[in-house]
A and B are shown apart, each in its own frame.
Chain A
Amino acid sequence: MGGSGLAVRDLSVGYGPVRALRRVSLEVPEGAVVTVLGGNGAGKSTLLRAVCRTLSFHGGAVTGGTVSLDGRRVDTLAPDRVVAAGISQIPEGRRVFSRMTVADNLRAGALGATGGRADRAAALRRVHELFPVLADRAQQRAGLLSGGEQQMLAVGRALMAAPRMLLLDEPSLGLAPLMAQRIAETVREINAQGTSILLVEQNAALALRLASRAYVLEVGEVTLSGPADELAASDEVRRRYLGVVDEDAAADAERAGAAHPVLTRWKG
């Protein structure tokens, strides 16, 4: 252990008899942006739940391994203590409190913060600087914001706790490309202001541009890891996550297609 930043060591997680993560290890050094890529069901959200200790809401439990922040174990803490330790998560699907106003959503984000009134005011100023639209719509119900604005609110809400480590679960999901780009820029800005970031994404192209280091998670195991630019250049990642098909792979696919009879509509 030791070292600053988030360290996950040999983490295994199960939902009842189902093993969701198998001895996963990864590190997010202080000040870095690290991304975890993987398809649906690879265990990306499970990983974040395990770090934030919310697995119990889904009937899951950590069966082995450790999670530590700056060398301090956080995998034995209650969820609120994890937040107090400096880890905030922006959950998948934004999950803003849709019946509450934008202002109250931001207040809710500060509930787990350890600082005082002045810190909260400073955090709110920072959020309003990043997203002026949240100040304009302060009294509007969050459920009535557009998808992009809701994502901004979700980011702002997480920042209200002034986290040192921010976990993002598929922030680009369901957003128009332009809005996804906007969120990516914000992530970069938040990182530049000193917050370390663990980004979980299916949009590999976007994630690899942001991150300095990347891990590929498949069926609960880390299958690839390395500097983001190296991974972005590797054939396997290009084929599987960036949608780039090189000639060999295209030929492979053709051969595979030829080997199987083509199914036609049943006319009987």
Chain B
Amino acid sequence: MKNILLIAISSLLMACHTDNDDNISQVNATFNFIHYWDDTKVTNADFNTIQYTNAKGDELSIEKLRYLISKITFQKSNGETFVLDGYNLVDVTNGTNLSFAPTTTIPTGDYSDVSFTFGFNNEDNYNANYQDLNSSSWSVPEMLGGGYHYMQLEGKFIDNTATETGYAYHAIRAVDNSGAVPVFENTFFSVNLGAVSITKNATFEIRMNIAEWFKNPNTWDLNVLNNMLMPNFDAQILMFENGQHVFSLESVTQ
């Protein structure tokens, strides 16, 4: 009987033992999304009031801001990559999904780059049906190629006639369907956050400067481009170009 007990206890102890080879352990990464208009912090409490001025000089408000990020990737200098499962629809309007904690873990160590995709790459955009995104009315009409929005930024601006006018700055994959065959151009992009050394569970704070969508390199004219932008191929390219400067890494805490 004693032998049986000894074997059972030994088995339990062995089962509880975790490998700790070379001091590498698996940790979690959490991504928090914060929002600014240049140096002014923006939350949904700041919505619905015309209080921001874009690069062109138009005064505007924000009423809705949602955007999709996916494919968070940790890359080592030797090319080895760790891609975290899942995607996140950041909903600033409702203050939801401002924090994203993928279940996939990553090994501790030095990474030459951490990145994520703004929107979906084409494989993720077209090869899967996402019940949560469909439920959030996030899909793109088939006539524009289908798939999903990358961003919905909406609000009001003071137009050239001093009238409050709505704008709907919706980012999708650019498509020109004026001809017999639609012509697409990729407008998702990778946001590179730079090198990070991960020693334990880490929290990344990602900053979106909303003003940049209207600023650099293209000074956005809301009087010209304020609505019906989804089928506007050129507008999508401008968004793509301005989007390159929108995100930055605010901090990493471990």
**A and B part of one assembly:** no
